[in-house]
Amino acid sequence: MSTLYKFPNFNIEVRDELALSKPELETFFQSGEKVACSTTVAPFDLVLGLDSEDRFSLHWNKAGEKKPIVYELDFIRQIRKLRSFPAPKQGAFNQALGNKTKTVLDTTGGWGGDAMLMAAQGYTVTILERNPLMALLLSDAFAHLKRYVDTVHSPLRVPVVKFLNAIDALSGLAAQVDCVYVDPMFPPKKKKSAATNKQMQLLQWMVGEDEDASRLVQQAITHGAKRICVKRPDYAEPLFRKSDQQFSSKLVHYDVYFAN
């Protein structure tokens, strides 16, 4: 037997091996409707299980694909590739974060790529993720990384993940960090372009278009954020008003806003 959870955008089968009676797991699924089901039901959109190293793995039964697409987050592999710590800071990304920034609040966790880069560069990062499944995957991946970091006595500060809606949480957190980082879902291009990678396809399918992203920036300003960095594709207009500063790279630009 498995357990089926129904969410607004997808249905997910949670395998019994995960012992979902644990309070820390139930917390992530409390926003989904729990429905009894059996393994004879047609394939679920998503299946959450454990890999050979007891990490969460996610299988997406995407329409048109012969086999499920498997997603795993392995930040340990990334850290092992580091030649030195902290990793070099350079380019538009770090210019936008600010030379004096030490603490960052990542309000749109996603797959954790930017947060992991920040941590590798020596920043102290807190991630806010409102999608329960993404929060669960991130928390598990960073928990494994924390155990590894403690074992090898690395100075890296592993990002902390909080299952919170950033718009609601900013009132108590925005003024406590040096920079609030916002990386909402990119809008589609008007002209045809190369296919979006499968990680982003799944994220877009699960979480939608981030239609309240501009409100997120407004909330950060309202609640006293010292610096707000918004990541945008090169073809998109500013998410909010005209930025106070802008730093550009090949495919994206970063709009920076300061507290009033």
pLDDT mean across residues, the chain? 86
In the chain, which residue ranges form alpha helices assigned H by DSSP? 23-28, 75-80, 91-97, 113-120, 132-152, 166-173, 198-207, 213-222
Are 117 and 80 in the same domain? Answer: yes
Q: What is the mean pLDDT of residues 101-107?
A: 98
**What is the per-residue pLDDT for 49?**
82
Are 63 and 162 in the same domain? Answer: no
Confidence of residue 11 (pLDDT cuts 50, 70, 90): confident
Are 165 and 248 in the same domain? Answer: yes
Q: What is the pTM of this model?
A: 0.87
How many angstroms separate the CA atoms of 10 and 30, rounded? 15
Are 122 and 21 in the same domain? Answer: no
**What is the per-residue pLDDT for 36?**
65
C-alpha closest to that of 236 among 176, 188, 164: 188
Are 166 and 56 in the same domain? Answer: no
How many angstroms separate the CA atoms of 194 and 192, rounded? 7
**Assigned token pair, 15:** 């395998």
Confidence of residue 19 (pLDDT cuts 50, 70, 90): low
Give the contacts of 205 (CB within 8 A, at least 6 positions apart).
Answer: 9, 10
If one compares 195 and 60, the residue with the highest pLDDT of the two is 60
Domain that holds residue 40: 2-72
Confidence of residue 70 (pLDDT cuts 50, 70, 90): confident
